[in-house]
Amino acid sequence: MKIFNLIFAFVFISFSAFSQSNGAFETAIKSQIQAMQQIDSPESAQEVSNSFLRISEAESGEWLPLYYAALTKIETAFRFDVDKDAYFDEAIDLVQKAKEVSPNNSELTALHGYALMGKVSVDPVSRGQNLSPQVMQLYGTAINQDRANPRAVVLMAQMELGMAEFFGQGPEKACGMARMADELFRKESQKVDENYLLPTWGANTAKALIENCQ
Amino acid sequence: MKLRLILFCYLFLLQSLAFGQTVLSGRVLDEKGIPLPGVNVLLKGSYDGTTSGVEGEFEFSTEKSGMQVLVFRLMGFKTLEIPVAVEGETLQIPDQELRESITDISGVTISAGAMEASDEKKSVVLRPLDIVTTPSAVGDIVGALQTLPGTSSVGNDGRLFVRGGDASEVGIYIDGLRVANAYGTTAGNVPTRTRFNPNLFKGTFFSTGGYSAEYGQALSSALALNTKDLSIRDQGDLSLMSVGGGYSHTLANEEQSITLTGNYFDLSPYQGLVKQDFDFERAPFGWDLEVAAQKKLGKDGLLKVLGRTESGGMKIRQPEPGQEGAGALIDLRNQYSYAQSNWSKISPNGWTWFLGASISANSDEIAFDSIQTTRDNKLAHLKASTIRDFSDRVSMKLGVEHFINTYAEGLPLEGLERNFQDGQTYLYTEWDWYLSKKLVVRGGLRGGLSSLSEEKWLDPRVSFAYQVSKNGQVSLAAGKFSQAPLENYRALNNDLKNTQADHLILNYFWNKDGITFRAEAFHKEYAELIRFEGVPMAPVNLRNEGSGFARGFDLFFRDRQTLKNTDYWVTYSFVDSKRSFEQFTTQVQPGFAPKHNLSVVVKHFVTGLKSQLGASLAVNDGYAYTNPNLPGEMNSKTPGFQNLSLSWSYLPRPNLIIHGAITNVLGRENIFGYDFSATPNAQGVYESRAIGQPAPRFLFLGLFLTLSKDKNANQLNNL
């Protein structure tokens, strides 16, 4: 009986140690999400994405660290003077890896589209015709995978606006989508607390698009 | 006792958690000893690690102890893993070197002779879109390639002529499989076009010499067209043109897609409106049906099928020089089919597999007044190949091919026919060695045998590329190339051997931010060319006796950067070519090889007009021809060729394009040579007739509408 109790105790301790290590995962992700806000150079971005990748190497069953590493790459390419194609390609690689861990994930599909949109932006004249439909399709799939994903909708709105501007059409459709995204962001923000690890970015883009509509 | 053991083990394991931290530090360098910042340094299986700093230095602490694996990762470098014994308060790791990994993007590529049209890669000279938007091309793939270095435009022919070679010296491939009779059959100096629509292809690889051992049966050039992968959505494409119309429908899902296309063209209404200088009794007309399907097989496999069948014809009168009347009536009918299927698979373990088969079948019926002739040509191509990447520095290509070629030509009314059947088998291998990221060597061998001529041959090829500066590189290529003589010659003399060419090419390529400069010098030596007595229509005593050379250089400059919304390229090619061939008894400049060739293409996008405006100019110094009234062969030269073409593409809506183009806007009366009467007239003079253009200008107007039930477009209403 004594032995049994002891073993039980060990197991319990081990479990708490295990859950502690899970807590470590959350803490690590959280601290890097905060570090993302402090990025001010390609070097600091590299540090953040490296940290996410270290977490992902230790937690091979998790898609979130790969997601954030890819997002960091994409944002770096948009913000700083780097070899944009290489960054977008690496982001797409990371998203593909994450998709193996978590298939049919709306956030990953939307991020894939975002990276591909980045590739279009590098050379819109020659890549637009071929890649833009693929981007639209990814956003469409992302919306179908999760109708409450505001990022899929806001990215689609951005794309629609770009197309409408290019072809001199009214922005009504894009604006409608931006408003919908804004509503979804509002709903999402109600779920967000200090332990929330899932992506929450994009609300400002929706706001900016709506402002543009008025 | 047992309990004690468990307790002991547990505490022992726990120790590693409880006892102090170790600080690891060190430095990461590249192969040359230059510090590498940004390297992800980590202990495998933990969150512990850091990113190296500007001096390649790193330092981090861990609570782990004992034998661990320290990992170094950086994009563009090979990941390094080293075992470390973590103990004590500090652990100094010796300097570590990361080796660059060589990828398609980072490594130098062989650019001698090669030009690519692709969306994916950076160092391309042409984009797929350029093919449809080059004004002089009017949607023809080969028309767009004629603006590239090493080519010359031969306006009464329309085919591709590369560096002093005739049109048959260009081998055309779709997905690595040979296409026979890739150009429409034509007669009477009416220029032809490629049969295949540019929309089928995602990329084009065009080589003007020194190309891979994968390609044979071409003395001058290889043109490899790669078909599109899976379509992404259901859509319909409607085209209405001044010369005809067509409809294409695509059905697609994640696993497979299929596109069915039908086109009809007839130049009669156009020729009714625009006066022609040629005497067409029946304007060129034709229809085609095409199917293209793609299917994913497994995770990395892709199966493609392409089939096409078409039929067309025309009737034209060709006046004889020095004779009264409208001349002989040429009545042409053509049937053509092409089908191919290929399967490819990229295995993650470094092997790439390819299996493919194609068949081309062409049938012509041509009547010259009352003389009827037929011509039937079939070519089957079977191919299996593999690519093995042994490492990022060494890769191997290995392939085996078999061709079956049948040809027959005859005079059905007289019951006369001559024909041949040939089986050719090839084995090729090619090796790429990256000695460093900046230096690559490629060596290839192509061996073949023919059942008809009972000839065996081996063609060695070698090339190098060296990166001389950040954006510039030099390439050198040399090799031997063999090609069977024209089919109508082989039908007359089955024993004819291969014609041969040796290439030597030196290339400089510079590319940065949308600006491309390319310079190339070449020397090509021809041997075993076909010679005969008599005239090309009725050759006698065919033999492998001709020889010659082509040498020169070409320059290419493209700038998509400097001027806003403007893209232009300028090409100059100089070719000095002489050869003894066909009926010529001495080495002469061929009629299809003008010396100086200049081409300029400019495209400008006007956002306000939602339009792309294009202009292209092609100029050469004229074509050599033989004037029988003067002594010697190829003793005269036509006036220079000039063609200024303009185009306007208007995109009023995302799914609608209206495209208009005019070729030879200035209406220059280009002359490509002269026909002479067979016998001199009463004054002892051979009378002549200029070979000109069907009409001074060609006008094209087309409307292209894409209809798709785009799910995304309806998304707004679904939400």
**Secondary structure of B249-292 as H, E, C letters:** EEEECCCEEEEEEEEEEECHHHHHHCCCCCEEEEEEEEEEEEEE
pLDDT digits (tens, 9 = 90+) for B315-332: 999 888 878 788 889 999
A165 and A107 in a single domain? The answer is no
Position B11 scores a pLDDT of: 46
A131 in a structural domain: no
Is residue A32, in this structure, part of any structural domain at all? no
Task: Provide CATH code, domain B114-715.
Answer: 2.40.170.20
Question: Nearest Cα to B335, choosing from B292, B367, B369, B378?
Answer: B378
Average pLDDT value for residue range A61-74: 95
Total CB pairs under 8 A between chain A and B: 92
Note whether A105 and A155 are same-domain residues. Answer: no
Q: Determine which of A57, A73, A138, A163 to mutate to test the interface with B (most B C-beta atoms within 10 Å).
A: A57
Kindly state whether residue A135 falls inside one of the protein's structural domains: no
Is A28 in Cβ contact with B232 (below 8 Å)?
no
Residues 6+ apart with CB under 8 A from A15: none
Distance from B527 to chain A by nearest Cα, in Å?
42
pLDDT value at residue A94 = 96
Q: B67 forms bridges with which residues in the sheet?
A: B85
| Whether A111 and A152 share a structural domain | no
**pLDDT average, residue stretch B50-60:** 93
pLDDT above 90 covers a percentage of chain A that reads: 63
pLDDT band at B16 (very low <50, low <70, confident <90, very high): very low
Higher pLDDT, B232 or B438: B438
* Phi and psi at residue B678, to the nearest 5°: -70, -30
Residue A61 sits at the chain B interface (C-beta within 8 Å): no
Phi, psi of B7 (to 5 degrees): -60, -45
CB contact under 8 A, A57 and B71: yes
**Does residue B497 or residue B608 have the better pLDDT?**
B497
Question: Tens digits of per-residue pLDDT, A4-53?
Answer: 555 555 444 444 444 445 688 888 899 999 999 999 999 999 999 999 99
How confident is the model over B237-265, as pLDDT tens digits?
899 999 999 999 999 988 999 999 999 99
Structure tokens at A95: 């998203």
Contact of A103 with chain B, judged by CB distance below 8 Å, is answered with no
CA distance A31 to chain B (A): 13
Assign residue B220 a region: left if phi > 0, alpha if psi is -120 to 50, beta otherwise? alpha
Q: What is the pLDDT, as a whole number, of residue B645?
A: 95
DSSP assignment of B362-407: EEEEEEETTEEEEEEEEEEEEEEEEEEESSSSEEEEEEEEEEEEEE
Average pLDDT estimate for B135-164:
90
Chain-chain contact of B51 with A46 (C-beta, under 8 angstroms): yes
Mean pLDDT of B223-233: 89
Q: Are residues A55 and A113 in the same domain?
A: yes
Element (H, E) at B240: strand B235-241
CB of B220 closer than 8 Å to CB of B524: yes
Measured distance CA(B714)–CA(B477) in Å, rounded: 54
Dist. CA B17–CA B559, nearest whole Å: 62
- State whether residue A77 sits within 8 Å of chain B by CB: no
B2-98 matches B114-715 in fold: no
Give yes or no for residue B377 having a pLDDT over 50.
yes
State the residue range of the domain holding A106.
40-122
- Residue with structure tokens 């040579």? B673
A128: in domain: no
Q: If we measure between CA atoms, which residue out of B357, B375, B354, B358 comes closest to residue B366?
A: B375
Confidence of residue B719 (pLDDT cuts 50, 70, 90): very low
Contact B629, B686 (CB under 8 A): yes
- As a whole number of angstroms, the distance between CA B113 and CA B93 comes to 48
Residues of B in contact with A177 (CB under 8 A): 715-716, 719
Cβ of A160: how many Cβ atoms within 10 Å? 26
Q: Tally the domains of chain A.
A: 2
B715:A57 CB<8 A: no
At B713 the pLDDT is 41
pLDDT per position as a tens digit, B349-371: 889 999 999 999 999 999 999 89
**Contact yes or no for A140 and B715 at CB 8 A:** yes
Does B322 or B96 have the greater pLDDT score? B96
pLDDT over threshold 50, residue B1: no
Q: Are B260 and B234 in contact (CB under 8 A)?
A: no
Contact B654 A163 (CB under 8 A): yes
Query: What pLDDT is recorded for position A162?
Result: 83
Question: Using the beta-carbon criterion (under 8 Å), do B127 and A126 form an inter-chain contact?
Answer: yes
Residue after which a domain boundary falls, among A84, A106, A122: A122
Quote the pLDDT of residue B127. 74
Q: What is the DSSP string of A19-40?
A: HHHHHHHHHHHHHHHHHHHT--
Q: Which of the following CATH numbers is that of domain B2-98: 1.20.58.190, 1.25.40.340, 3.30.70.1090, 2.60.40.10? A: 2.60.40.10
CA–CA min distance A156, chain B (Å):
9
**Reported confidence tier of residue B100, pLDDT bands at 50, 70, 90:** confident
Q: Is A213 at the interface with chain B, CB within 8 A? A: no
Provide the whole-model pTM: 0.85
pLDDT at B604 over 50: yes
Distance from CA of B30 to the nearest CA of A (A): 18
Residue in chain B nearest A178 by alpha carbon: B716
ipTM of the complex: 0.84
Instruction: Answer positive or negative: Cα dihedral of A101, A102, A104, A108.
Output: negative
A6 → closest Cβ in B3, B44, B128: B3
Question: Whole-number mean pLDDT of chain B?
Answer: 90
Exposed/middle/buried for residue B78 (C-beta within 10 Å: 0-12, 13-18, 19+): middle
Nearest CA in chain A to B201: A130
Please report whether residue A4 resides in a domain. Answer: no
Set of chain B residues whose Cβ sits within 8 Å of the Cβ of A90: 75
Tell me, what's the pLDDT at A18? 44
DSSP symbol at B588? B
Residue-wise pLDDT for B260-278, tens only, equals: 999 999 999 999 999 999 9
Q: Which residues of B touch A7 (CB under 8 A)?
A: 6
Give φ, ψ of B265 to 5 degrees.
-135, 150
Q: Which residues of B touch A (CB under 8 A)?
A: 2-3, 6-7, 10, 17, 37-38, 40, 42, 44-51, 71, 73, 75-76, 105, 119, 122, 127-129, 202, 232-233, 560, 567, 605, 610, 651-654, 710-712, 715-716, 719
Q: Residue ranges of the domains in chain B?
A: 2-98, 114-715
A57: domain CATH number is 1.25.40
Nearest by CB to A167, from B73, B233, B610: name it: B610
User: Which A residues 181-210 touch B at CB under 8 Å?
Assistant: none
Nearest to A143 among B610, B652, B715 (CB): B715
The reply to whether A22 falls in a domain is no
A99 and B CB contact within 8 Å: no
Among the listed residues B44, B46, B47, B48, the one whose alpha carbon sits nearest the alpha carbon of residue B23: B48
Q: Report how many helices (DSSP H) and strands (DSSP E) chain B contains, helices first.
A: 6, 41
**Contacts (Cβ under 8 Å, ≥6 apart) of B314:** B186, B187, B190, B280, B282, B283, B284, B285, B332
Check if the beta carbon of residue B415 is closer than 8 Å to that of residue B427.
Answer: no
Of A47, A58, A127, the CB nearest to B46: A58
**DSSP, res B123:** S
Q: Are strands B328-346 and B301-318 parallel, antiparallel or unpaired?
A: antiparallel
